[in-house]
A and B are shown apart, each in its own frame.
Chain A
Amino acid sequence: MAINSHLALKDHLRERRLVNARLIFAALFSVLLFTGVIIRLVVLQVVEYDHFDSLANKNRVDIEPLPPQRGLIFDRNGVVLAENMPTFSLELVPEKVPDLPATINALTELLQINETDLLRFHEQLKQNRAFEQVTLRYQLTEKEVARFSINRHRFPGVDVVGRLIRHYPQGELFAHAIGYVGRINQQDLLIINPQNYKGTLQIGKTGVEKQYEDLLHGTVGYRQVETNVQGRTVRELKSEPSHPGKDLYLHLDIGLQRTAVEALAGENGSVVAMDPRNGGILAMVSQPDFDPNLFVSGISIKNYSALRDSLERPLYDRSLRGHYPPGSTLKPFVALAGLELGVVNEQSRTYCPGWYSLPGHSHRYRCWKHQGHGHMNALDAMAQSCDVYFYDLAHALGIDRMHNFLDMFSLGRKTGVDIPNESGGLLPSSEWKRNSRNQAWFPGETLIAGIGQGFNQTTPLQLAHAASILAMRGTAHTPKLVRASRSGGQQDLQLMPSSEPVTLPIQNADNWQAVIDSMVEVIHGQRGTARHIGEKMPFNIAGKTGTAQVFGIAQDEKYDAETLEKKLHDHALFIAFAPADDPEFAVAVVVENGGSGSKTAAPIAKKMIERYFNLPAELTAEQLEAIESESLPAPSEAVIDE
């Protein structure tokens, strides 16, 4: 028993020593292992800390641009012409979408995304970098927003984004003048500062929207946000607010604009009205027009090709780019040239037998009145638009003297209006012909040029501008659409800096009066070509009709509107300003294939004048009320030092 007990005890002690030795070994081994673990932690948390810290920050901090709100555009009365409308669009960040095709399929099912959207999306996808958002669908309805919100968890990297998009409440009415904004494309990217356009989707493409892009756009702001693993914003770290673009106040008047469109009554053509005292463009209409809202979020291919391929060319801004022979509307300027250069005086007479021949030639240049006007002085010739008088005058002036004089009125060259894409046109000279065609100038061409035909090409804007210079007796203001701007949140308007007016170097001021008198005779004279519009006017209007040939008529043929196709009909033109002795309003009208300037174009100008001076208007009381209710109180003006 004792031995057994002793043995058991000894056995127990031996076992215990064995187990304890192993325990000590295990403890030491554990310490060794955990020393390794701690070394690993030191490497991660101390040695490589910077590396992981920057990775962690990259993981979570996202810089979001805050696009500025685009400035609004108002007409002279404060009627909104371009505004920003809140819309919801579905946007995705390709980088953050795990399975793009599957996501798009699922979204297509959920929200009825059509072919056009997908096409546009894929196009965008190629252009954008992977971390930039691409719009899949614009203008979601509230229902669609709700439907997506419920399913949002299924679509990491996809989100509904509320944005302001441009909207033109007046639709077509200002399409050409104001233009439109559209998606920023590759060409735009070359010009803009991409930093400032982070988050901005649209940029001015034409008209005022393009020209004043810098003012309208504003300055981008930033928001540093923390995002979670799906790229959704969790909280804001810091932000720098954006500065909204400036609002623009135009010279354009919505009433005049409407009047012009109504007066053109579906004819193709253009009406440009200006305030000659400052060059402000009061109306600028080109018909036909288009809805600029179509372009804002990317026009569909179908819509675009319909606009582009239309024979009526609605996208073409006739007021800025339409080249029309000025026809007889050039005569006041030619007459002024004759008086100023001493070729004729007010009393000089020319006999009109209905045709004119250059000395030594047999070719007969016909007057529009085949039986002839008889003896004509400058006043009569203007009132009755006698071609023969001007053939003779032009011949006496010679093409180059005539060109140099008319050039002062910016005819056939750009006026410098404050919207892009203005076209020059052509005021012919012998030098021009030699340079461009390598041909000598023929004396017969001088005669044709003298009545505004032949090579002469002017735009409606140039005609309105030239009429304004005439109205102001030689003081030329550069035509301008934008009158003033207003910084966000401020009440005061800042007038646009304007260039100093140019005064034409005319020696004898009486010559202005003589020409203007003759233009008054056109409207108020007994034989004036536009005498039908002068009735019941409380003041004198100075004007000139013009009828421009679209094609040449052979020597013995007669122009017969009945048998001609519409597109070969003459263009009808008219320029005018009023009141003649203290002009406030100048207008140029071109009606394509309108026939006669007197019958077609002059009444349009009359309506414009009536509208401007609030003469017995053709607008009904209801319409007036509608306009007034749209108008905002005009902000007070602050004149800035120049």
Chain B
Amino acid sequence: MSELLSQPRRRRYRPLGYWLQNTHIDGLLMLGLLALLTVSMVVLYSSGGEDIGLSIRQAVRMSIAFVVLFIAAQIHPDRLRDFAYWLYSLGLLLLIAVLLFGDMGKGAQRWLELGFMRFQPSEIMKIAVPLLVASYLSERPLAPSFLRIVTALMIIAIPTVLIAKQPDLGTAMLIASAGLVVIFLAGISWKLIFSFVAILAAAAPLLWFNMHAYQQRRVLTFLNPENDPLGAGYHIIQSKIAIGSGGLNGRGWLQGTQSHLEFLPERSTDFIFAVIAEEFGLVGVVLLIMLYLLITARGLFIASQAQTSFGGLLAGSLAITFLVYVFVNIGMVTGLLPVVGVPLPLVSYGGTSMVTLLAGFGILMSIHTHRRMMSP
């Protein structure tokens, strides 16, 4: 009550807050995102061989992505909830279309040619899966029953399998985790979680011994790429050299030798973190990680403040998935995780994933800024 009373006064003194509230923009989140995108432009200029064109193209994509964010922020969470089934169905249709008519790119079938642009339907699923799972689970009081959990798992499994078949293991994993996070936040019992983990652990050896030798080799290479220094391991070896040689303070902007001399592959996309580590050192990457953590923290705060469990589940899933992206990418580049081709969110060069991510943040802002218009 006192909050409501104090609002008009605050509006008078803080016109920016008023403006932001009415456009459904969350100022802190926006600040974090803008900071991250500035980092992206600066690093891309260096990793792209001091080609300003790369930064400009990235800036253009960013602008488009911010328009999407702005639009997403205007949509009331309840409308989004109504829309969940349709979006999910559309995503599934497009995924099947991709498997049937998709363009090949870098050995994987992910793209749909729409004439004016190339489109990656798996991006829709990044939003659609957590959206539908959150919507579905929040239909009934939490925590969900076993049956609903199984249904939710089915919702997650179908697109995950389709995307994994493209093959795009990285995205499949991210989409699965986005859905699973919702189930986790919805209050699935720890007993059930441990049971699933135990079943998986038990199934793994069975699966392993039923694989052909070449499949086993592929799995081993996947898990430890450094065994194959000229093939899969080359990326990771070069990226470790780049990161390690950055040292505490880095070589300085535009001074990274591994990236500028093209020793580091995919340096503007999946391995851009290595460029940052080489040029800005440990100090730089820790600051960057802090920025990511702060953005996520704001997302989690928004989730905790959500007034519906649907909003809380969706916001929490989007925030945590964002951090999962970061973790998977950095883990891969530093050699902690297998190479799965996940870009560093909002820093790596590339349009589609940026649009999806900012759409997600738009939803987060919408959940936060539409709070007060709902009756408790």
Q: Does B320 contact A (CB under 8 A)?
A: yes
Cβ of B99 under 8 Å from chain A = no
Does B143 sit within 8 A of A, measured CB to CB? yes
On whether the beta carbons of B141 and A49 are closer than 8 Å, the reply is no
Q: Is B241 an interface residue (CB 8 A)?
A: yes
A-side contacts of B246, CB under 8 Å? 45
Q: Residues of A contacting B303 with CB < 8 Å?
A: 19, 23
Interface residues of A in 37-87 (CB under 8 A from B): 37-38, 40-42, 44-46, 48-49, 51-53, 55-57, 59-60
Question: Which residues of chain B have C-beta atoms less than 8 A from A230's C-beta?
Answer: 262
Say yes or no: B327 contacts A33, CB within 8 Å: yes
Please, how many angstroms separate the alpha-carbon atoms of A18 and B263 in the complex? 49
Question: Using an 8 Å CB-CB cutoff, how does the interface string of A396-438 with B read, 1 for contact, 0 for none?
Answer: 0000000000000000000000000000000000000000000
Q: In the bound complex, do residue A52 and residue B187 qualify as a contact, i.e. CB atoms below 8 Å apart? A: no
- Interface centre among B141, B185, B261, B331, by most chain A C-beta atoms within 10 angstroms, is B261
Cα–Cα distance between A57 and B251 once the two chains are bound (Å): 13
B:283-337 near A, CB below 8 Å: 285-286, 289, 293, 296-297, 300, 303-304, 309, 312-313, 316, 320, 323, 327, 330-331, 334-336
Give, as a whole number of angstroms, the nearest-CB distance from B309 to chain A. Answer: 5
Of A24-32, A166-174, A515-523, A581-589, the segment with at least 4 beta carbons within 8 Å of chain B is A24-32
- Chain A residues lying within 8 Å of B143, measured Cβ to Cβ, are 18
Check B243 for interface membership: any CB of A closer than 8 A: yes
Measured between alpha carbons, how far is A53 from B293 in the docked complex, in Å? 29
With most chain B CB atoms within 10 A of its CB, the pick from A11, A18, A41, A49 is: A41
CB distance from A52 to the nearest CB of B (A): 3
Does residue B85 face the partner (Cβ distance < 8 Å to A)?
no
A45–B243 touching, CB < 8 Å:
yes
Q: How far is the CA of A22 from the CA of B309 in the complex (A)?
A: 12
Q: Are B262 and A45 in contact (CB under 8 A)?
A: no
A11 to B143 CA separation, bound complex (whole angstroms): 11
CB nearest neighbor in B for A230: B262
29 contacts between A and B (CB under 8 A): A9-B376, A15-B312, A19-B304, A19-B309, A19-B316, A22-B185, A22-B187, A23-B303, A23-B304, A23-B316, A26-B316, A27-B300, A34-B293, A34-B327, A36-B336, A37-B336, A40-B334, A41-B334, A45-B247, A45-B281, A46-B248, A49-B244, A56-B241, A59-B263, A60-B257, A60-B258, A226-B257, A228-B261, A228-B263
Q: Is B245 an interface residue (CB 8 A)?
A: yes
A55: chain B residues at CB < 8 Å are 241, 244-245
> Residues of A contacting B313 with CB < 8 Å?
19
Measured in the bound complex, the distance between the Cα atoms of B241 and A229 in whole Å is: 13
State in angstroms the CA–CA spacing of A16 and B313 once bound together.
10
Q: Does the CB pair B309–A23 fall under 8 Å?
A: no
- Top-7 shortest CB links A-B: A52-B244, A56-B245, A18-B187, A228-B261, A45-B282, A19-B312, A44-B244
* B 246-265 to A, binary, CB cutoff 8 A, 1 in contact else 0: 11100000000110011100
Given A19-B309, A34-B289, A46-B248, A60:B336 Cβ within 8 A: no
Q: How many A-B residue pairs have CB under 8 A?
A: 135
Residues of B within 8 A of A42 (CB): 282
B222 sits at the interface (CB 8 A) = no
Give A33 Cβ to nearest chain B Cβ, in Å.
6
Minimum CB–CB distance from A102 to chain B (whole Å) comes to 16
Closest Cβ of chain B: how far from A78's Cβ, in Å?
Answer: 48
Report if B240 contacts A (CB, 8 A).
Answer: yes
Chain A residue at minimal CB-CB distance from B257: A60
- Please measure, in the bound complex, the distance between the C-alpha atom of A309 and the C-alpha atom of B320, giving whole angstroms: 85
Contact between B304 and A31 (Cβ–Cβ < 8 Å)? no
B185 touches A19 (CB 8 A): yes
Q: Is A371 an interface residue (CB 8 A)?
A: no
A interface residues, tally (CB under 8 Å): 41
Are A37 and B257 in touch, CB under 8 angstroms?
no
CB-based nearest B residue for A98: B230
Complexed CA–CA distance, A37 and B328 (Å): 10
Is the CB of B131 closer than 8 A to any CB of chain A? no
Residues from 553 to 573 in A contacting B, C-beta threshold 8 Å: none
Q: Is A11 a contact partner of B261 (Cβ separation < 8 A)?
A: no
Interface string of B124-155 (1 = CB under 8 A from A): 00000000000000000111000000000000
> Whole-angstrom distance between the alpha carbons of A227 and B257 in the complex?
10
A185 at interface, CB cutoff 8 A: no
A22 to B376, CA, bound (A): 22
Bound Cα distance A40, B332 (Å): 12
Q: How far is the CB of B371 from chain A (nearest CB, A)?
A: 13
Known: A19-B142, A34-B327. A45 touches B244 (CB 8 A): yes
Q: Which of A30, A41, A56 contacts B320 (CB 8 A)?
A: A30
B240 pairs with A26, CB closer than 8 A: no
B190 to chain A, nearest CB (A): 10
A527 within 8 A of B: no
Using Cβ atoms and an 8 Å threshold, which residues of chain B touch A3? Answer: none
Least distance between A37 CB and chain B CB atoms (Å): 5
Measured between beta carbons, the chain B residues less than 8 angstroms from A37 are: 289, 327, 330-331, 334, 336
Measured in the bound complex, the distance between the Cα atoms of B169 and A81 in whole Å is 71
Q: Which residues of A contact B297 (CB under 8 A)?
A: 27
**Cross-chain contact A15 with B323 (CB below 8 angstroms):** no
Contact (A44, B261) CB under 8 Å given A26-B185, A26-B320: no
Chain B residues near A53 (CB-CB < 8 A): 244-245, 247
Residues on the B chain within 8 Å of A48, using CB: 244
User: Can you name the residue of chain A whose Cβ is closest to the Cβ of B313?
Assistant: A19
- In the complex, whether A190 has a CB less than 8 A from a CB of chain B is no
> Beyond A22-B187, A23-B303, is A45–B248 a contact (Cβ under 8 Å)?
yes
- The answer to the question of B277 belonging to the interface, with a C-beta cut-off of 8 Å to chain A, is yes
Is B359 on the interface with A (CB-CB < 8 A)? no
CA distance A60 to B241 in the complex (A): 12
Contact B309 A226 (CB under 8 A): no
Which chain A residues (582-638) contact chain B, with CB distance < 8 Å?
none
**CB-based contact B282/A46 at 8 Å:** yes
Contact with B along A225-238 (1 / 0, CB 8 A): 01111100010000
Q: Which of B240, B263, B289, B304 contacts A38 (CB 8 A)?
A: B289
State A254–B286 Cα separation when bound (angstroms): 77
Chain A residues with CB under 8 Å of B282's CB are 41-42, 45-46
Give the residues in chain A near B45, CB-CB below 8 Å: none
Given contacts A53-B245, A56-B258, contact A41 B285 (CB under 8 A): yes
Other A-B pairs, 9, CB within 8 Å; known A41-B334, A45-B285: A15-B141, A18-B143, A20-B304, A26-B181, A26-B300, A45-B277, A53-B245, A56-B245, A226-B257
Expressed in whole angstroms, the minimum distance between the Cβ of B195 and any Cβ of chain A is 18
A44 contacts B243, C-beta separation under 8 Å: yes
Q: Which residues of A contact B142 (CB under 8 A)?
A: 15, 18-19
Give Cα A33 to B328, complex, Å.
11
B173 at the interface (CB under 8 A from A): no
Residues of chain B lying within 8 A (CB to CB) of residue A153:
none
Say whether A147 faces chain B, with CB atoms less than 8 Å apart: no
Q: Does B18 contact A (CB under 8 A)?
A: no
The answer to whether A154 has its CB under 8 Å from any CB of chain B is no
From the candidates A23, A26, A59, name the one contacting B241 in the complex (CB within 8 A).
A59
Task: Give the distance in Å from the alpha carbon of A60 to the alpha carbon of B261 in the complex.
Answer: 7
The answer to whether B247 and A46 have CB atoms under 8 Å apart is yes
User: Contacts A19-B316, A228-B262; is A52 near B293 (CB within 8 Å)?
Assistant: no
**Chain A residues whose C-beta falls within 8 Å of the C-beta of B187 in the assembled complex:** 15, 18-19, 22
Residue of B nearest to A9 (CB): B376
Q: Could you say which residues of chain B place their CB within 8 Å of the CB of A51?
A: 244
A56 to B335, CA, bound (A): 17
Residues of chain A lying within 8 A (CB to CB) of residue B334: 37, 40-41, 44
Q: How far is A55 from B286 in the complex, measured between Cα atoms in Å? A: 23
Minimum Cβ distance to chain A for residue B318 (Å): 12
Residue on A nearest B311 in the bound complex, by CB: A19
Residues of A within 8 A of B277 (CB): 41, 44-45
Contact of B141 among A11, A41, A46, A60 (CB under 8 A): A11
Shortest distance between the CB of A288 and any CB in chain B (Å): 56
* Bound: A230/B187 CA distance, A: 54
Residues of B within 8 A of A16 (CB): 309, 312
The interface residues of chain A lying within 8 Å CB-to-CB of B185 are 19, 22-23, 26
